[in-house]
Amino acid sequence: MNTTTRRVAVVGGNRIPFARSNSAYSKASNQDMLTAALDGLIARYSLDGEQLGEVAGGAVLKHSRDRDLTRESVLGTRLAPETPAYDVQQACGTGLEAAILVANKIALGQIDSGIACGVDTTSDAPIALNEDLREILLEANREKSTAGRLRQLAKVRPGHIVPAIPRNEEPRTGKSMGEHCAIMATEWGVGREEQDELTARSHHNLAAAYERGFMDDLVDPFLGLERDQNLRPDSSTEKLAKLKPVFGGENGTMTAGNSTPLSDGASSVLLASEEWAKERDLPILAYFSEGQTAAVDHVHKREGLLMAPAYAMPRMLDRAGLTLQDFDFYEIHEAFAAQVLCTLRAWEDPVFCKERLGLDAPLGSIDRDKLNVNGGSLAAGHPFAATGGRIVASLAKALHEQGSGRGVISICAAAGQGVVAVLESAGGSK
């Protein structure tokens, strides 16, 4: 029985620029984009013909035909076709959860290398048959005789042409994620101004990262896009202040600016054991050292839908023997600026930390200058399952650049879930 674990190296990542919905990638399928992201990674790290331990990934919005999306994408790349793959889906946590799955297998020695990836399109969305029509067709299929089939098909009505469109709402509350986040913003007293400040900073940081070449070996152009389409380098709090609220009613604080737009894109990260990487003379940007998933009851206990990372964090810190202040980089996924600010406020709040997290003292504040230093989802966009891979690769590179230290990732997901993880510099922690 295996009683030891090994360190898991983050070798590097690759993604395609993220596009705004119904724009540059409107004709690209999930499989197209994922294959492109993987091919870029394969080229960057010379994985041609390589048989990896596995490829884990997924998409949140998936066509029914994409039964084995990740495996089919792998078959379209230059990886050895003998590389196994499977689909993962945990809403916006998909990408990071996939990385945890691959990292755990490497740590246990079950595999030596693997890719975690994710993709999403809100343009090429899976539109399904009208539910009533679908039932009629299935009934007709069950009939034994032609007459029976015709009898069933005669039930088809013109209204059945209306398709079933994927809905952006929580099945158990009927509220959209934005509406849920608006409730959280109210509950935590998060104001418009601070949300707009966070948003402007996200754009400025991502623009600066592109300018100084930080993104050069993280992003490969795709379908004419070289940078994330949502990025507005000249964004400012003044401009953002002019936008009308889109969630939380007339007096709401959440706008199209300080909420992530619907986006299309794909990302991938190569993880490996140290030996595997060294054998191939591949870099080790960082170690993937901790991961934790948590969920909240947003239905009956009415906890904020996107508050699960706030719960996951102390469990992970406790296990790792770390405090919230022990990090050089904080990568908090900006689903909405308000989500980030609610999470930070919750960690500072004595009541939340004692009553909900069961801690003796609040987790405390973080140094805001260490937050999303190379931009966040508000600037880059947020193709749901691709966000985890974007962040892991970017944080690993930031740690590599610094040569020391530790970074933490926090990602909120639909259905009241959240995923957090720790990456440590391969140069050793401070």
Partner 1 sequence: MSDRYSQIVNSFPGKLVAGRVGLPQPTELDRHTPGAPVVAGRVLLGAAPGGRLAEPLARVISDAGAEASTTPESSLRDAAASAGLDAALFDPENGGDQRFKALVFDATGVEDSTQLVELQRFFHPTVRKLERSGRVVVLGTPAFGCDDAREATAQRALEGFTRSLGKEVGRGSTVQLVYVSPGGEGELDSTLRFLLSPRSAYVSGQVVRIGPGVTKPPKLDWERPLDGKVALVTGASRGIGEAIATTLHRDGAKLVLLDVPALSSDLDAVAKRLDADTIEIDITEEGAPAAIADKLAGGVDIVVHNAGVTRDRTIAKMPEERWSGLMEINLSSEERINDVLLERGLLRDNGRIVCVSSMSGIAGNSGQTNYATSKAGVIGMVEALAPTLAERALTINAVAPGFIETQMTGQMPIAIREAGRRMNSMSQGGLPVDVAETIAWLASPASTGVNGIVVRVCGQSLLGA
Q: Catalytic residue numbers?
A: 92, 382, 412
Choose between 139 and 187: whose C-beta lies nearer to partner 1. 187
Choose between 190 and 391: whose C-beta lies nearer to partner 1. 190
Rule CB under 8 A: say whether 254 interacts with partner 1. Answer: no
Rule CB under 8 A: say whether 355 interacts with partner 1. Answer: yes
DSSP string, 242-264: TSPEEESSTT--EESSSBPPPEE
Rule CB under 8 A: say whether 118 interacts with partner 1. Answer: no
Rule CB under 8 A: say whether 252 interacts with partner 1. Answer: yes
DSSP string, 55-124: EEEE-SS--TT-TTHHHHHHHTSSS-TT--EEE--BTBTHHHHHHHHHHHHHHTTS-SEEEEEEEE-SSS
In 274-390, where do the E strands start and end?
Answer: 286-295, 329-332
Cα 44 versus chain centre, distance:
22
Q: What's the CA gap between 330 and 96, in Å, rounded?
A: 15
Query: Comparing C-alpha atoms, which of 234, 235, 225, 215 is closest to residue 264?
Result: 225
Instruction: Enumerate residues 167-206 that contact partner 1 by CB under 8 A.
Output: 182-183, 185-192
Choose between 129 and 246: whose C-beta lies nearer to partner 1. 246
Least CB distance to partner 1 at residue 248 (A)? 6
**Which residue type does 344 have?**
L
Least CB distance to partner 1 at residue 194 (A)? 9
232, two tokens: 């507005």
Of 40-48, 90-98, 249-257, 421-429, the window that binds partner 1 (rule: CB under 8 A) is 249-257
In 166-279, where do the E strands start and end?
Answer: 245-247, 254-255, 263-273
Least CB distance to partner 1 at residue 351 (A)? 5
Cα 39 versus chain centre, distance:
20
Rule CB under 8 A: say whether 253 interacts with partner 1. Answer: yes
The Cα angle at residue 384 between residues 24 and 397, in degrees rounded to 5: 90
Choose between 125 and 359: whose C-beta lies nearer to partner 1. 359
Query: Cα(first)–Cα(last) distance of the chain, in Å?
Result: 34
Question: Contacting partner 1 (CB under 8 A), which of 350, 364, 403, 428?
Answer: 350
Question: Contacting partner 1 (CB under 8 A), which of 167, 351, 358, 369?
Answer: 351
Rule CB under 8 A: say whether 226 interacts with partner 1. Answer: no
Question: Contacting partner 1 (CB under 8 A), which of 8, 56, 296, 353?
Answer: 353
Least CB distance to partner 1 at residue 360 (A)? 10
202, two tokens: 């996200």
What are the φ and ψ backbone dihedral angles of 148, each rounded to 5 degrees?
Answer: -60, -45
Positive or negative, the CA dihedral 312, 90, 19, 85 is positive
Choose between 303 and 424: whose C-beta lies nearer to partner 1. 303
Rule CB under 8 A: say whether 326 interacts with partner 1. Answer: no
Q: Indicate the pairing of strand 263-273 with strand 19-20.
A: antiparallel
Of 75-83, 248-256, 401-409, 417-425, the window that binds partner 1 (rule: CB under 8 A) is 248-256
Least CB distance to partner 1 at residue 179 (A)? 11
Of 40-48, 278-286, 345-353, 373-381, the window that binds partner 1 (rule: CB under 8 A) is 345-353
Interface contacts to partner 1, rule CB under 8 A: 182-183, 185-192, 248-249, 251-253, 345, 349-351, 353-356
